[in-house]
Chains A and B, each alone.
Chain A
């Protein structure tokens, strides 16, 4: 069975602090995809990144970076120099060969000015 665990329910930081959101997954598939989505108060899920199981390269996109480690089944997300606009709920998700995308419970990030 596939499972995604986001152990951090809520995180609060002050603007300009760095923050890391943790994601641990379980799957028996050898081919799978990991995702991060942002959900602002409006409710619409915003795609941030997709990573397949064969690509363990870390990725950086502006202030965002992702650390994928198969050895620990983790796909962590770091925001550098956080801003108030980063406040949202962030979801990690896993999709295997059956197209059943499993989401974690989400981490609510609050960035205070």
Chain B
């Protein structure tokens, strides 16, 4: 286990609703990255938070937003859910910003949008 936890494990929502996913980073890590992994595909980078500020964003619309708290845990919020938002959402924590720093992934939250 990596020490990165995510909640909830599974979630079912209906189209148009809003959802909040949570991630607790590994001790000593101040960077959290979020990824969306659709079925049968590789993870896609959503955004990254470093010391409570967004530091980089992938090709996702503004209805995907996030927060990082002083303890470096993080939330991913998705508004106006669409069917295509159904996916496994992974968070990863690391120490600092350098790409060389290993990212430790959590087990993911599986979101189903009906």
Contacts and interface: CB of A to CB of B under 8 A. Distances in A.
Interface stretch (B20-28, B63-71, B75-83, B101-109): B101-109
Contacts of A96: 99
Contacts of A45: 43, 90, 92, 105
Nearest to A31: B99
Contacts of A100: 45, 56, 58
A50 interface: yes
Contact of A91 (B43, B92, B100, B103): B43
Contacts, number: 61
Summarize A's interface: helix, strand, loop or mixed.
loop
Interface of B: 2, 33, 35, 40-45, 48, 55-56, 58, 88, 90, 92, 97, 99-100, 102-108, 110
Given A37-B105, A99-B97, A100-B45, 15 more contacts: A43-B88, A43-B107, A43-B108, A44-B2, A44-B107, A44-B108, A47-B103, A47-B105, A50-B102, A52-B100, A96-B99, A99-B55, A101-B45, A104-B42, A106-B41
Interface of A: 4, 6, 32-33, 37, 42-47, 50, 52, 91, 93, 95-106
